[in-house]
Structure 1
């Protein structure tokens, strides 16, 4: 990304330790507070005799909370210091992944005490407490549970950020202790219904605040962790007046007047006739989403991706691809030659799942394309190294070697295929 597109220089960002008051008050903003309160009230289902259905409903409430918390984390990582209204860019699967992440960490903790005794178990518990924020940050950036559970991921994040990460991990622990202390202090003196609401209000508040803290850490150390903030999420104060601001204001007025169709026609007409700024494209997609125009969203996505790549805005193109994949997992850009470029950028930006989906659907449509060896080699490395699917990676590379024996990358593909064989080979005898 060029300097003109960079949302903010990392050295110009206020350090998180100078914003602890603002971070702790983050959930009091109206957008976050309404979510915190509504989800706390939903837990009153505990008082209904629903049995297993009630337990499942409780689980869905937790998923909704984590989904919104990840939305806050991503917004913070992109430099937006106001909570989002709703969770629109985060998949439901990310909320479920956080549940499984916590289950896995709890299991690791218990195994530490069972296998190593009280002293060793305590040591493992401290290490896991230090690692948990890194695992959550990895899950938010990469959307890969296996990668987030890999100790090498935690070590890499700690090594890149250094002592500020340790400080955030300590704050994460302090938030958790404060939560339990507040609950122990307030809940016993309240009637059952009120105490339930109070318990979950405190819990939800702490979850949103800590996820904002972790997102802000990514924002502050974006270069160290290799995260490129989305320009679409830049704070308004950091942007100059948009050249199409009058058009945007007119479209916004149509929406406020209850006429999103008129806004879509206005913005779409501008894009079809003369093009427009990134803000026009973003607003057009938002209006189309409100109208539920899925096919037009996909069509526009293909057109905008081509424009973004022509402007060397590859990271934004990755974001558009991900948005379109949520509507159509088999989504492909118009030009098959663009896939290699987008996939590489997706990996660089920590969007492995986007790269894998893109290459998979593209490979099915273009099995003889000249970029097949390069794209499939990239996919094989992601499958083997980030998802632990060595067998799938081997099968993919076997097909590539058979179809492209004379390709310039045939040697590199074969070398990586042999490397995968060594991973599954039994250890040699002395």
Structure 2
């Protein structure tokens, strides 16, 4: 049975906590070690069971085209070509017979490697070297023994129960043959591959899709037989033999690839776990850090309604990194959603600083309005932050609020280097936003008298001239003239 993530419906679950009875996806478990199949439950901190990628794998009946393309990847195509063409040019003697036998063993070994490789989550075929190097050739002997034992069981049924029992036994053997091949490929055990209970359990756990696959396999065998018969009857023997062998090998690879994929698709039901190995994993364990774990914990607790816990996690994170913009944003959105004015007041300098970085005048106005409930007539203690907030408010058309933020700036911060920019902004707000030209001129005159050493001092005459003409205060134009 496939499960969706408890917190992200629609996303396939990769982990399951048996204590909490909760399924988690990769987004919930960014710090999980999928290679070692290890992860701790975010809720109870106990080890969870890994479900693998079988929970998100495409059903085999939707990949029929991929199965038919499988033998034509470079590696299986090379194996099939070698095992088909080399025996043709081999000498017609004992050496040629030995070459034919070795290549048949190599091809048979490769087909069983396809089952294992696909069942482990590899969507691309195994390499050519798998067929011709290493161990694993004994699989041929094991498969022959399976056929002998199955034949013996059918004969035993005939001797014990007569023709009826023999037919029933034969029907079960034929039906269970694909399951037997899958078990043999995975366990390399004749006993497991012929055990009726073992095969019946595998078939029952897969369920209806097994019989659907069985129908596909019958059609595949019929198609293979028809194709080979056509090749033998329509082409000369020098062409029909290799072509028939090529078609037989190709259809065998398709069949074994389908069997391996069925194992992969239903590994959870069969008690295994596997991941798709040939596709890039966007959440590499080596690229993860504690930040992604915190993001996942915040998401989980928000969906569980544990807002106090989320708030505590964010505050703890901001102790370690005071100006982390991600955590400041998350805290801002949480506090405003909860209308928590007390906590908002405590963190308002950092939140307002983050909002000015986004040039969010409306957000600043909203925060100041909420803070007004906690401390009426609130004035910011940071002169630079005050000017930056007022600049954002001015640009968003919040003129009165911008003026209130800079009210009595020269009294509160008499020695601040921000005095000239603050009162220039006041003058622009009065003139450009509220058409109060006389008051704007008064603030410009104040800058001219009090801020003689500030770089803005030399621009004040230009602003005063603009105010006298009731023109928009926007400073001097750039000049590209060069002096003689």
TM-score w.r.t. the length of structure 1 is 0.49
**Larger helix proportion, structure 1 or 2?**
1
Structure with greater contact order relative to length (CA < 8 Å, sep ≥ 6): 1
TM-score w.r.t. the length of structure 2 is 0.44
